[in-house]
A = this chain, B = another copy of it.
Amino acid sequence: MSKLIRFGISMNEQLLEKFDRLIVQKGYNNRSEAIRDLIRSQLVELEWADEDQEVAGTITLVYDHHVKGLSDLLTDLQHDFHDLILSTMHVHLDHFNCLEVLVIQGKAGDAKKVAEKLISIKGVKHGKLSITSTGKNI
């Protein structure tokens, strides 16, 4: 773990009051953690803007497993990218609908391509890439 550094920032009283109200509402215990989260969110976006940066993320897919051949196709495609997809979890939402989450780690550019490939498949009703970090640099 790297060492902790403390520094001062200034803010006019009115803005600080607004901020304090906001972070209480969001469940933060103190300003430091809320500010660190704002900073880390921005850094994660920056990491994903660089195609060659090592990142982590999730791909969420909602689909109807009754669509003929869909489950097999999804499995096949995921195996083609087994080096990027760390693991998956499957939830049976109702009689028809499945939700599948894939945890991915690798280069940002590759991760986006896998996401597009899976989301564009016919029968996948909704797909979404959610970006996060490997945690190494934040």
Contacts and interface: CB of A to CB of B under 8 A. Distances in A.
A122 B15 CA distance: 15
Copies of this chain, count: 4
B89 A103 contact: yes
Contacts of A26: 116, 119-120
Interface string A73-113: 00000000000001111010110111101010100000000
Size category of the binding interface on chain A: 35 or more
A28 to B, nearest CB: 5
Interface string A11-42: 11111101100110011111111111111111
A36 B22 CA distance: 14
A130 B121 CA distance: 19
Contacts of A99: 56, 103, 132, 135
